[in-house]
Amino acid sequence: MALIARQNQVEAGLDLVLTAAAGGGDQVDNADGKTIVIIRNGGGGSITATVTAQNTSFGNQLEPIGQITKTNVARTIAAGGIAILGPFPTAVYNNTSNQIALTYSGVTSVVVSPVKLP
């Protein structure tokens, strides 16, 4: 997996730097839980982008709510489409390196831009 650096969103805006999606997936820093990921599918068919949930079950600490189950985030992006995923709660989506893991069903003409929200 390739590590992609986040860009910082500020009031004045930012010029997105788009990085080619890696065939084996990508990782993005999410230590603060303020990460969104912008994905553009320039390919001829739809793709699915997935952010893997590292922790899927949360129990009694949430009383009186009870058990909560989380799943992977999976978003289908049409040919020529753009999607924004996130932000991602750290307790659910971060791995031991405080990164989120992204995978793609296809990477031809797919570009990614992780952004840290203020």
pLDDT in tens, 39-88: 999 999 999 999 999 998 876 655 666 778 889 999 999 999 999 999 99
What is the extent of the structural domain holding 71?
2-116
Residue, of 67 and 27, whose pLDDT is higher: 27
Dist. CA 79–CA 77, nearest whole Å: 7
Strand-pair category, 47-51 with 82-85: unpaired
Residue from 43, 29, 42 nearest 114 by CA? 29
**pTM recorded for the entire structure:** 0.91
Dist. CA 50–CA 45, nearest whole Å: 16
Domain count within the chain: 1
pLDDT in tens, 87-113: 999 999 999 999 999 999 999 999 999
